[in-house]
Amino acid sequence: MAVAPTYCTHKELKRVFPQLDEFDTKVQVLGWTTVSTNKYASHNSGLVTQLFADGEDLGAAQSAHTDLNVEGEWFYNSAEDVLYYYSASNPADKLIEAGEEFTAMVTQFRADASRYLDSKLDPNLPANQFKDKSGNFDYMIIRTTALLCATLMIRSTDPTSEMASAMMTEAQENIDALNNGKAGLSWQNTSDSSKGVVRDVTYTGTVRPVDTRGHYSGTYDLIKIKITTAGAIGTATYSVWAKDSDKLGMNEGHQIVTDEIINGDYQVLSGRLEIRFSGTDFSSTAALNDVWEVEVQGWSEEVDVNSLKPIRMTRRY
């Protein structure tokens, strides 16, 4: 059965909130007395649902304290608020803790923060956030979830924490930016997506694509540009692949430009788009087999992110 995604990992949470380990909520159990041979009791221990000895999870509780006869077995009597523990050595010489296993607790907080974020985002955004082509959530989503998670963890022990308030403020600013269209996510089609976004795949020379012109006339492509002859501008050549019925341009679906000399002006790319190459100086050269991808959306595709807001106007007489 599919489950809703968790937007930040334990490691990503710790990058945002380095003090994470300080919020382990397990409580040490003290005040042990001997009941009988190898059986001990801690009165007024407080509710115990999970018990640990020197960091080891002791598993589920027994059904009664009379059942305790194996090392590490335990039972909590809720009516009398007494914890019973079976051990060949005095538990006072061990670190006995009651509480939730820390990693499991963090996992639940991360899931809670993810669902909280889903509930705060505008309904025009997905019910569950999308991953990018590398299989990762956008950093805006990761960081905001981590901030919310840290806030929930801190406030579980200190409701008035200034640190939690500062983190919540940043998280809310991120949420407002996403809801108001002032921050974009990688999957979103922006108003300039039809001009294309150029990304390095392999870049070892000093000549590269620096600008595009026009608006893409198709729907979507990941266009491939490759240097096919090394050299300076006026000598170097490039080739371009666009999508066909089976493959995107980066998979070399259909070659539409072959060994075109780079002249430094706007030159043909794909779908009414043009590309311009430039170098750092007049001695710059293009390197053989340097490759770029140009991700592009069609000019007529719906825009997901736009800071412009509609205004309703009526004529007054």
Can you spell out the DSSP letters for 137-177?
B-HHHHHHHHHHHHHHHHHTT-TT-HHHHHHHHHHHHHHHH
pTM (global) more than 0.85: no
Query: Residue 184's pLDDT is what?
Result: 76
Closest Cα partner for 280 from 203, 208, 200? 208
Q: Within the chain, which residues score under 70 in pLDDT?
A: 1-2, 188-191, 301-317
pLDDT score at 304 = 58
pLDDT > 90: percent of the chain: 77
24: its two tokens: 């382990």
Q: Give the model's pLDDT for residue 313.
A: 45
Amino acid letter for position 157: T
The per-type count for the chain, helices as H runs and strands as E runs, is 4, 18
Question: What is the Cα gyration radius of the chain?
Answer: 30
Query: Looking at residue 253, what is its pLDDT?
Result: 94
pLDDT for residue 317: 42
- Please state, in angstroms and as integers, the Cα–Cα distance from residue 95 to each residue in 28, 100, 132, 225, 256, following that order: 7, 15, 45, 62, 70
- For the stretch 79-127, pLDDT in tens is 999 999 999 999 999 999 999 889 999 999 999 999 999 999 988 787 8
* Beta carbons of 205 and 224 less than 8 angstroms apart: no
**216/231 Cα distance (integer angstroms):** 29
Domain boundaries, the chain: 10-22+102-179, 27-98, 193-297
The predicted structure's pLDDT at residue 25: 85
Could you write out the DSSP letters of every residue in 46-101?
---SSEEETTEE--SPPSSGGG--STT-EEEETTTTEEEEE-SS-GGGS-EEES--
- In which region does residue 116 sit, left (phi positive, over 0), alpha (psi from -120 to 50) or beta (all else)? alpha
Dist. CA 251–CA 241, nearest whole Å: 8
